[in-house]
Structure 1
Amino acid sequence: MERINNETIDLLMARKSMRVYEDKPVPQELKRQLLEASLRAATAGNMTLYTIIDVTDQALKDKLAVTCDNQPFIAAAPLVLIYCADYSRWYQAFCRVEEEVRRPSYGDFMLAAEDTIIAAQTAVTAADALGLGTCYIGDILENYEIHKRLLKLPAYVMPVAMVVGGYPVRQQKERKQTPRFALEDIVHDNRYDREKSARMMEMIEEKENWRGEELAPRLRAFCKRKWNSSFSEEMSRSVKAMLDAWIDPQDEEMEDGKGC
């Protein structure tokens, strides 16, 4: 099949995470441009169920570099954006016009989190288009209690995505992209195809080019590093605490003591 040349598709296909940046700031006009693009992302009911925290305080960046699994490049990043699922604003507004308003629950969190991730990814694409390099920091999901305090988050506001970036150094620009799984293995027709998923070992072998006897030990090492790891356990603990606080916030977290 003939591929159609398209600048946007080329941009998406060239994307990769970049973690080392030049020592120069991102101009405010450029930052505003990518944030404005972020706000044009799809959003449920046109509600914009998120808040973006633009981290410019170096001391806060330094702390986040530690709390987000000890990654020094976070502290050195000129651009640090934390995307928070946020139902606080709408809940307060509803309480002003209705006598009885249910408190946000699991579905509301999921919808807000979807809004948040879509907005974050739009910012990442905009950053690529503007000549920046970015990297997602999933570790913002860890240490919920610490991040809540550091970022002064009220009830119904949870950090679900973090993007750091800047002008990438030459080595990052020239670094080879990481491989992806084959489209045919990931796209299922009409319903879930268990036979395709049963090929996972072969899929890993083909994607990573781990051949023969090296597959098992490499996969075992990957499991130890990414799954059976302390940061993975902390992330699950932290997200549970986050969801527990969303469903049952303490009265002192509420804007007016007891919500509605």
Structure 2
Amino acid sequence: MSTEVTRLIQSHRSIRKYTDAPIPQEVLEDVLASVQWAPSSHNVQAYSVIIVRSQEAKQQLAMLAGGQKWVEECPVFLVFCADLYKLKHACEMNGEQLAPEGVENLLVAAIDTALAAENALIAARSHGLGGVMIGGIRNNPRGVADVLGLPSLTIPIMGMCLGYPDQDVEQKPRLPKRAVFHEERYQSEGIAEALEEYERISADYYERRTRGKVTDGWTKQMADYVNKPRRTHMKQFVEEQGYKLT
């Protein structure tokens, strides 16, 4: 049995083309209020959101994200950052020191940030907006940090374009449920068959979407995507920002 909320969630599409209509301030404020009510591990709220409207800044960020023109063209661009900077200050206010060692604090901050971003997208869509997540914000994190004035212990995790949709795109098929959901224990014996099915479904989708320019399905695309290290510069940047990944 579906609800209005679940129907909204299940109709997700990435929107990269927007009308010229501005986003009303009261709509944006409602979206941002929803951000703050995302779940947060131990209530650390280890994230910050930079709201970018400046055309110059959006142009710079579009370039840093790999030339993604929709970053420049969207009315509002949000940058979601993992943020222990304010946790450092909370420690100092109470005579303590932040412990930046290990990966747990970074994981908590990154997860908090992702949950906040998803709340933002769902809230925005409930107002009739469309959007797309921009992982390319991590292509040049130092450049992004310079544009946005990010202090130590803040890491840009993702961007988000928001605007009123000016396109109607077909929904991208997802993996078969049996490749995602498992009762009681991981059901590895069914994975291969499910992926073969999804390869056929996704190949058909991409062929239609690109009018024959792309014929590979999900498994072939993912095999090419994950067979090499990606954004290896992030480790150095994270450590330069004050995290100790030991």
Tell me if TM exceeds 0.5.
yes
Matches for 1:148-163 after TM superposition, within 5 Å: 148-163=145-160
Q: Which runs of 5+ in 2 are unaligned?
A: 206-211
Q: Does 1:239 align with 2:237?
A: no
Q: TM-score, normalised by structure 1?
A: 0.81
CA offsets per residue over residues 222-248 of structure 1, 9 Å max, x none?
A: 3597457xxx86x52232223322424
Alignment root-mean-square deviation, CA: 2.6
Q: After the TM superposition, which of the residue ranges 189-198 and 109-118 deviates more from structure 2?
A: 189-198
Matches for 1:100-119 after TM superposition, within 5 Å: 100-103=97-100, 105-119=102-116
1:196 Cα deviation after fit: 2.8
Match of 1:38 in 2: 35
Amino acid at match of 1:241: Q
Match of 1:218 in 2: 216
Amino acid at match of 2:235: K
1:134 Cα deviation after fit: 0.5
The question of whether the paired residues in 2 share the 8 Å contact of 1:180 and 1:207 is answered with no
1:184 Cα deviation after fit: 1.6
SS of the aligned residue for 1:95 comes to helix
CA offsets per residue over residues 172-196 of structure 1, 9 Å max, x none?
A: 2x32111111112211222323223
SS of the aligned residue for 2:93 comes to helix
Match of 1:142 in 2: 139
Q: Does 1:86 align with 2:83?
A: yes
Q: TM-score, normalised by structure 2?
A: 0.86
SS of the aligned residue for 1:199 comes to helix
Q: Does 1:167 align with 2:164?
A: yes
* Whole-angstrom distance in 1 between the partners of 2:124 and 2:177: 26
The question of whether the paired residues in 2 share the 8 Å contact of 1:204 and 1:210 is answered with no
1:206 Cα deviation after fit: 3.7
Q: Mark the CA change 1:244 to 1:99 in structure 2 (over 3 Å): closer, same or farther.
A: closer
* Whole-angstrom distance in 1 between the partners of 2:118 and 2:150: 22
Q: Which runs of 5+ in 1 are unaligned?
A: 250-260
The question of whether the paired residues in 2 share the 8 Å contact of 1:182 and 1:207 is answered with no
Q: After the TM superposition, which of the residue ranges 40-49 and 23-32 deviates more from structure 2?
A: 40-49
* Whole-angstrom distance in 1 between the partners of 2:108 and 2:88: 14
SS of the aligned residue for 2:160 comes to strand
CA offsets per residue over residues 130-175 of structure 1, 9 Å max, x none?
A: 0000000010111122112111111110010211010001xx2x32
Amino acid at match of 2:216: R
* Whole-angstrom distance in 1 between the partners of 2:193 and 2:233: 32
Matches for 1:64-75 after TM superposition, within 5 Å: 64-75=61-72
* Whole-angstrom distance in 1 between the partners of 2:90 and 2:105: 15
- The count of aligned residue pairs is 235
- Which of these two proteins has the greater Rg computed from alpha carbons? 1
Match of 2:22 in 1: 25
* Whole-angstrom distance in 2 between the partners of 1:210 and 1:27: 39
The question of whether the paired residues in 1 share the 8 Å contact of 2:101 and 2:244 is answered with no
Match of 2:46 in 1: 49
Q: Percent identity?
A: 27
